[in-house]
């Protein structure tokens, strides 16, 4: 195989540079035995995107390793120092998950920040992403870093950068940090050491502060007390959730938490599951198997950095059903809004936040309780950013997105599996107090607001030609939008690129108050929504489908669900996607 010229240049720079001998030897071995991997490792520089770094671990400019982590940290440090000139003490918080090399990458991050004059609060052991987000505000930090690749396969690791509000970087900081990182051309530009005494170990003190906030979110302590033995099955999928979720549930009063022991051991190889992603059935299989064995009431799983939650519920016939992210979010928001309403604690300026690709069911629920709904772009950083803009003006209830991320209250500014798992357990206890199950709560919602069902189709087009094809697809949809989809007229089109919301019946347009993004949404007369969004990180274009039906009684759940699934397939065929 011919090595790319850029790869050759980058490789030689590493061989000639001040890199350690172990790294150089690894490069030589790749050159001799695996030139294809060598090419992949050096043909470009691993990009620091708006969320940080994420990539396969290994040697090379296009890999996650101690050098790419150090250079990214130097760029981040340079930018933060520029933004907070005159601040007497710059502070940063650093955490890491259970992945291979995460602890080492966190130590490197802490050392570089300390060498740049920061007081660095480094967790003494792995901790979840939401706790890192919380720690930034709790400890009054200017920035923070979480070493994680979330739910990606074991070969990956990543680097999430945060601002002083505990939220991932948003404009203008996201692009400005990227610019600073790009200025770091070589490892000699990095201050690797020299921050002796600037690193502070943190752990149980921050855990305790976090748990107290979760306790403050409890809405029906009497239900937990009466049904403390609701039977819960939980799996951390070999990740950080094991450090916080079981003990927080215990603090709230739950006494029957059954942990999937083979998956309770932190392990970056994730040996018991093909993917540590609770969105996938295989990742949930061991937990559901245990639930069947002990006749549990509720199942939940967190991903390796404990920001996402997968949920399984028992149906009346004893079978187990995996909820999608839209369903879990809808139940959470329904419970929050209904409970606040029943207690008289809604403030009149309440709001929820969801992403534009999320179901419209949360919006219908919010309308019922007089709460505002804010739609934001895909990605939890936009939820955090909206909360910051409304701080002190309006009252945040909760929010989330279809990809299994939820936020209860605003003390965390990122997806939070800890608080979400605790609230899911509370809902199970609340349902039990009425002789119901979590599944019954979901069917009650569908009976009142309509049965919403969602689907997702990713169309992959690889290479440069694939990227061009995806862009052409978006251009064609804008030039010749569908007049109808599956026999129902398109009555509204939202174009997040032109920031125009058009009523196709009257021709009236209204501006969209969002950052520009290459997304199109089609709404049909019969209540369907189709969202088209090219991925920003992968060679694919995603189609999100949402359909709606009526559920007259719980006994017809399977029948209605089946008809809605068929409707989603029909939508795909109507758009020539099958």
Q: 85 burial class (0-12, 13-18, 19+ CB within 10 angstroms)?
A: exposed
Q: Are 290 and 260 in contact (CB under 8 A)?
A: yes
Long-range contacts of residues 14-23, Cβ cutoff 8 Å, at least 24 apart: 14/42, 14/59, 14/60, 14/61, 17/186, 17/187, 18/187, 18/188, 19/67, 19/187, 23/59, 23/65, 23/67
> Which residue among 150, 403, 420, 546 is the active-site one?
150
Helix H or strand E segment including 570: helix 557-574
- CA-to-CA separations, 207 to 145, 235, 305, in angstroms, rounded: 17, 20, 15
Q: Are 396 and 353 in contact (CB under 8 A)?
A: yes
Distance CA 213, CA 411 (A): 7
Q: Which residues are CB-neighbours of 435 under 8 A, at least 6 positions away?
A: none
Q: Are 491 and 525 in contact (CB under 8 A)?
A: yes
Distance CA 211, CA 247 (A): 9
Distance CA 38, CA 28 (A): 9
150 is catalytic: yes
- CA-to-CA separations, 323 to 271, 320, 398, in angstroms, rounded: 24, 10, 19
Q: Are 286 and 320 in contact (CB under 8 A)?
A: no
Distance CA 130, CA 145 (A): 12
Q: Which residues are CB-neighbours of 562 under 8 A, at least 6 positions away?
A: none
* Closest to 299 in 3D by CA, of 258, 353, 356: 258
Residue tagged 């970056």 (tokens):
268
Tell me the two tokens of residue 555. 């006994």
* Closest to 54 in 3D by CA, of 190, 185, 152: 152
Cα–Cα–Cα angle for 301, 306, 311, rounded to 5 degrees: 25
DSSP labels for 262-321?
GGTS--TT-TT-S---TTSHHHHHHHHHHHHHHT-SEEEEE-TTS-BEEEEEE-TTS-EE
- CA-to-CA separations, 202 to 90, 134, 386, in angstroms, rounded: 17, 13, 29
> Cis (ω within 30 of 0) for the bond into 335?
no
Tell me the two tokens of residue 332. 């959470």
DSSP label at residue 204: H
Residues with a known catalytic role: 150
């Amino acid at each position: 195989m011919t090595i790319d010229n850029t790869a050759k240049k980058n490789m030689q720079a590493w061989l000639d540079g001040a890199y350690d001998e172990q790294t150089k030897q690894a490069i030589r071995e790749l050159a001799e035995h695996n030139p294809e991997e060598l090419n992949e490792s050096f043909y470009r520089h691993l990009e620091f995107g708006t969320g940080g770094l994420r990539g396969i671990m290994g040697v090379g400019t296009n890999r996650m390793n101690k050098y790419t982590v150090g250079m990214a940290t130097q760029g981040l440090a340079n930018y933060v120092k520029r933004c907070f000139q005159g601040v007497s003490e710059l502070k940063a918080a650093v955490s890491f998950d259970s992945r291979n090399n995460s602890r080492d990458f966190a130590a490197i991050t802490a050392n570089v920040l300390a060498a740049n004059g920061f007081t660095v609060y480094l967790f003494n052991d792995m901790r979840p992403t939401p706790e890192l987000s919380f720690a930034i505000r709790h400890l009054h930090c200017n920035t923070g870093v979480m070493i994680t690749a979330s739910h990606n396969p074991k070969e990956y690791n990543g680097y999430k950068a945060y601002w002083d509000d505990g939220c991932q970087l948003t404009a203008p900081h996201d692009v400005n940090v990227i610019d600073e990182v790009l200025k770091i051309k070589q490892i000699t530009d990095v201050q690797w050491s020299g921050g002796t005494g600037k690193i502070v170990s943190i752990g149980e003190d921050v855990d305790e502060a976090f748990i107290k906030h979760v306790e403050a979110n409890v809405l029906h302590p009497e239900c937990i007390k009466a049904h403390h033995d609701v039977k819960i099955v939980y799996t951390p999928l070999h990740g950080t959730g094991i450090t916080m979720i079981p003990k927080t549930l215990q603090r709230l009063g739950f006494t029957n938490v059954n942990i999937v022991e083979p998956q309770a051991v932190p392990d970056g190889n994730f040996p018991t599951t093909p993917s540590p992603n609770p969105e996938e059935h295989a990742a949930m299989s061991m937990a559901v198997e245990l639930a069947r064995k002990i006749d549990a009431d509720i199942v939940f799983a967190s991903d390796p950095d404990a920001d996402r939650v997968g949920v399984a519920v028992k149906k009346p016939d004893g079978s187990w059903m995996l909820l999608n992210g839209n369903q879990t979010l809808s139940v959470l928001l329904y419970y929050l809004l209904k409970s606040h309403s029943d207690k008289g604690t809604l403030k009149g300026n309440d709001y929820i936040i969801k992403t534009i690709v999320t179901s419209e069911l949360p919006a219908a629920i919010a309308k019922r309780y007089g709460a505002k709904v804010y739609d934001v772009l895909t990605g939890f950083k936009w939820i955090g950013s909206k909360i910051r803009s409304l701080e002190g003006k309006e009252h945040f209830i909760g929010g989330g997105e279809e990809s299994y991320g939820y936020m209860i209250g605003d003390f965390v500014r990122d997806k939070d599996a800890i608080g979400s798992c605790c609230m899911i357990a509370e809902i199970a206890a609340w349902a039990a107090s009425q002789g119901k199950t979590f599944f019954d709560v979901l069917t009650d919602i569908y009976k009142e607001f309509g049965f919403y069902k969602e689907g997702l189709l990713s169309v992959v087009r690889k290479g440069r030609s694939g990227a061009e094809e995806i862009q052409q697809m978006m251009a064609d949809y804008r030039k010749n939008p569908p007049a109808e989809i599956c026999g129902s007229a398109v009555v509204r089109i939202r174009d997040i690129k032109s920031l125009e919301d058009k009523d196709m019946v009257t021709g009236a347009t209204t501006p969209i108050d969002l950052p520009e993004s290459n997304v199109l949404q089609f709404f049909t007369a019969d209540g369907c929504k189709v969202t088209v969004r090219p991925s920003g990180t992968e060679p694919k274009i995603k189609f999100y489908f949402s359909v709606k039906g009526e559920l007259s009684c719980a006994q017809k759940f399977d029948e209605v669900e089946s008809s809605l699934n068929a409707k989603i397939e029909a939508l795909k065929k109507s758009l020539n996607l099958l």
